[in-house]
Chains A and B, each alone.
Chain A
Amino acid sequence: MPRPQTLPARPVATRATRGLWGDALRRLLRNGPALVGLFFIAVFVAAAVLAPVIAPFDPLAGKLVDRLQPPNAVHLLGTDLQGRDELSRILYGAQVSLVVGVVSVLMALGMGGVVGAAAGAAGGRLDNVLMRVVDVLLAIPGILLAIGIVAWLDRGLPQIMLAVAATNAPIFARLLRASLLANRDVDYVTAARSIGASKMRILLRHMLPNSLTSLIVAATLALATAIIDVAGLGFLGLGPPDPRTAEWGTMLTDATQFLRQAPYLIFFPGVAIVISAIGFNLLGDGLRESLDPRLRR
Chain B
Amino acid sequence: MGRYIIRRIIAAIPVLFGLSIVLFAFIHLLPGDPAAALLGQHATPELTAKIRTQLGLDKPLYEQYLLYLGQVLHGDFGRSVINNRPVLSEFAIRFPGTVELTLGALLFAVGLGIPLGRFGARHVQRLGDGMVTVVSLLGVSIPIFVLGLTLQYIFAVQLKVLPTSGILDPRIDIPAVTHFILIDTLLVGNWGAFVDALRHLILPAIALGSIPLAIITRITRAAVLDVSNEDYVRTARAKGLTERRVDDRHIMRNAWLPVVTVIGLQIGGLLAGAVITETVFSWNGVGRWTVEAIQDHDYFVVQSTILIFALIFLVVNLIVDIGYAFLNPRIRY
Q: With CB as the reference atom, state the residue of chain A lying closest to B266.
A: A141
Q: Is the interface of A mostly helix, strand, loop or mixed?
A: helix
Cross-chain contact B314 with A139 (CB below 8 angstroms): yes
Known: A143-B273, A232-B145, A274-B142. A132 touches B15 (CB 8 A): yes
**Contact residues, A268-297 vs B (CB, 8 A):** 270, 273-274, 277-278, 281-282
Cross-chain contact A142 with B272 (CB below 8 angstroms): yes
Cross-chain contact B276 with A141 (CB below 8 angstroms): no
Which chain A residues border B271 with CB–CB below 8 Å?
A: 141, 144
Cross-chain contact B153 with A259 (CB below 8 angstroms): yes
Cross-chain contact A151 with B294 (CB below 8 angstroms): yes
Cross-chain contact B272 with A252 (CB below 8 angstroms): no
Cross-chain contact A236 with B276 (CB below 8 angstroms): yes
**Contact residues, A227-278 vs B (CB, 8 A):** 228, 231-232, 235-238, 249, 252, 255-256, 259-260, 263, 266-267, 270, 273-274, 277-278
> What is the size, in residues, of chain A's interface with B at 8 Å between Cβ atoms?
42
Q: A150 vs B280: C-alpha distance in the bound complex, in angstroms?
A: 20
Cross-chain contact A143 with B272 (CB below 8 angstroms): yes
Q: A228 vs B142: C-alpha distance in the bound complex, in angstroms?
A: 8
Which chain A residues border B309 with CB–CB below 8 Å?
A: 140-141, 144
Q: Cβ of A169 < 8 Å from any Cβ of B?
A: no
Known: A133-B18, A147-B294, A237-B291. A232 touches B313 (CB 8 A): no
**Contact residues, A130-155 vs B (CB, 8 A):** 132-133, 135-136, 139-145, 147-148, 150-154
**Mask of B1-32 contacts with A, CB within 8 angstroms, 1/0:** 00000000000001100110010001000110
Q: A17 vs B294: C-alpha distance in the bound complex, in angstroms?
A: 49
Which chain B residues border A235 with CB–CB below 8 Å?
A: 143, 145, 276, 279
Which 3 pairs from chain A and chain B are nearest by CB?
A: A141-B268, A136-B18, A141-B272
Q: A residues within 8 Å of B by Cβ?
A: 132-133, 135-136, 139-145, 147-148, 150-154, 224, 228, 231-232, 235-238, 249, 252, 255-256, 259-260, 263, 266-267, 270, 273-274, 277-278, 281-282
